[in-house]
């Protein structure tokens, strides 16, 4: 068995490739490349899929966070509360608005923010945050409804980061439909990826959608008329919109395939490793994450898998509050669960195009750990 990559974006199935080629050809022939009919159609289809009233396409998932935070009123000097184990995208986006990222720890079992970790962070902060960003990490839907109920009592806006969790649902409601506003990314490795960059802001609050529409295009209220501060150019082009539309029709099926692969890994019952992710409708199979008992045990497990030709990765090795860039963490904080996770977790190969033979090989290697 040759090496099993952590991900392989070159494995486009032939039927999908020809669908994409047709879509690209029709955009090229149309002569309309930015904010045209493909863009408008994808906005409609995304909003309908999530069950929200508006989707606003933007350049990427980090811009989506920045513009969503701006649209709910986050200003320079405001605090933005989030988790420090989710790749620092929210911290970077907050700094673009000169807001100050602050952190809640996560639950030891799911590594997600909970109502309890949210409340504990809240009492330790020098002032009430203007917004909380709940990241549905690894594709697992956090309990946003409970966090939002508390946030509302304090006048804190709730942003859901769904970049990893498109299609995750609970009680018939999808990730992205619980908060004031949600964001996503179409980076190629996400469950719904473009062939380049893209992102979206999703909301059922019309005034928030209107503000993001202005912010993504220079702050324009109309052509060449600038009314809104913090505008920039952050648009998603017609080619990427057309490609994402094609791929979106396969999203639920791909997520199902991802869940089936995860189930096979769980059934291997690796000794000494615990699954952080687990299969349910609330998990779209974005990443398969396991946790070892300590840092040394993680290295042994990863080395054993590497010897069996299996690539693994760590999401994420450096928590936000320990990043070298000091402005990402102005206030000192200790986050024991987050810090321990960064030392002990790793991710297994999980993408829909893995063959059954490859899945069996990874499962066998896990079973022998
Ligand atoms: C990928 C990702 C982002 C950023 O998206 P980009 O399109 O790469 O800017 C933000 N948040 C989460 C949770 C992500 O996984």
Q: Domains of the chain: which residue ranges?
A: 14-248, 251-367
Q: Does the pLDDT of residue 1 top 60, yes or no?
A: no
| CB of residue 163 inside a 6 A radius of ligand 1 | yes
Cβ–ligand 1 contact at 160 (below 6 Å): no
Give the model confidence (pLDDT) of 60-78 as tens digits: 999 999 999 999 999 999 9
Classify 172 in phi/psi space as left (phi over 0), alpha (psi -120 to 50) or beta. left
Which of 61, 168, 236 for mutating ligand 1's site (highest number of atoms within 8 Å of CB)?
A: 61
Structure confidence by residue, pLDDT tens digits, 267-305:
999 999 999 999 999 999 999 999 999 999 999 999 999
Token representation of residue 16: 């999908």
Report the residue count for the chain: 369
Helix axes 295-307, 356-367, angle to 10 degrees: 130
- Given the structure tokens 């860039």, which residue do they identify? 325
pLDDT tens, position by position, 32-45: 999 999 999 999 99
CA of 355 to the centre of ligand 1 (A): 27
Establish whether residue 185 lines the binding site of ligand 1, counting it when its CB lies within 6 angstroms of any ligand atom. yes
Res. 82 pLDDT band, cuts 50 70 90: very high
Site to probe by mutation for ligand 1, drawn from 63, 86, 185, 198 as the one with most ligand atoms within 8 Å of Cβ, is 185
Q: Can you give the pLDDT at residue 2?
A: 65
State the closest ligand 1 atom to the C-alpha of 63, by its place in the atom list counted from 1. Answer: 9
Nearest CA to ligand 1 atom 5: 61
Report the separation in Å between the CA atom of 296 and the middle of ligand 1, taken as the mean of its atom positions: 29
Q: Class for domain 14-248, per CATH?
A: alpha beta
For ligand 1, is residue 86 a contact (CB within 6 Å)?
yes
Nearest CA to ligand 1 atom 12: 163
The C-alpha atoms of residue 212 and residue 58 are separated, in whole angstroms, by 9
What is the per-residue pLDDT for 278? 97
Of 204, 206, 246, 185, whose CA–CA distance to 59 is shortest? 185
Q: Are 159 and 137 in contact (CB under 8 A)?
A: no
Produce one character per residue of 75-105: b if its CB has 16 or more CB atoms within 10 Å, e if not.
eeebbbbbbbbbbbbbbbbbbbbebbbbbbb
Sign of CA dihedral 52, 134, 190, 208: positive
**251-367 CATH choice from 3.90.1150.10, 3.90.1570.10, 3.40.720.10, 3.90.209.20:** 3.90.1150.10
CB of 198 closer than 8 Å to CB of 174: no
């Amino acid at each position: 068995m040759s090496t099993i990559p952590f991900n392989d974006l070159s494995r486009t199935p032939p039927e999908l490739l020809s669908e994409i080629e047709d879509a690209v050809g029709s955009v090229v022939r149309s002569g309309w490349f930015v904010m045209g009919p493909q863009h408008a159609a994808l906005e409609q289809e995304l909003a309908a899929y999530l069950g929200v009233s508006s989707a606003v396409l933007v350049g990427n998932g980090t811009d989506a966070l920045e513009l969503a935070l701006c649209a709910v009123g986050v200003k320079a000097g405001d605090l933005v509360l989030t988790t420090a184990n989710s790749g620092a995208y929210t911290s970077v986006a907050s700094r673009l608005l000169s807001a100050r990222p602050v952190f809640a720890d996560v639950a030891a079992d799911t590594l997600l923010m909970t109502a309890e970790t949210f409340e504990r962070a809240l009492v330790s902060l020098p002032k009430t945050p203007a917004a909380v960003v709940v990241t549905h990490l690894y594709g697992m839907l956090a309990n946003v409804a409970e966090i939002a109920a508390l946030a509302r009592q304090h006048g804190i806006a709730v942003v859901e980061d769904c970049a990893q969790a498109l299609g995750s649902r609970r009680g018939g409601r999808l990730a992205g439909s619980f908060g004031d506003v949600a964001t996503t990314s179409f980076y190629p490795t996400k469950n719904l990826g473009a062939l380049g960059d893209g992102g979206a802001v999703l909301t059922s609050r019309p005034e928030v959608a209107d503000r993001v529409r202005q912010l993504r295009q220079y702050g324009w209220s109309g052509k060449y008329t600038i009314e809104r501060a913090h505008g920039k150019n952050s648009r998603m082009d017609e080619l990427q919109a057309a490609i994402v539309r094609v791929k979106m029709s396969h999203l639920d099926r791909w997520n199902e395939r991802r869940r089936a692969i995860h189930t096979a890994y769980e059934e291997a019952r690796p000794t000494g490793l615990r699954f952080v992710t687990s299969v349910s409708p609330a998990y779209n199979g974005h990443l398969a994450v396991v946790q070892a008992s300590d840092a040394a045990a993680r290295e042994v497990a990863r080395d054993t898998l590497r010897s069996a030709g299996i690539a693994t990765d760590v999401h994420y090795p450096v928590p936000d509050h320990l990043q070298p860039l000091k402005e990402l963490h102005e206030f000192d904080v200790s986050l024991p669960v987050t810090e321990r996770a960064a030392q002990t977790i790793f991710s297994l190969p999980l993408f829909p195009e893995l063959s059954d033979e490859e899945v069996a090989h990874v499962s066998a290697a896990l079973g022998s750990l």
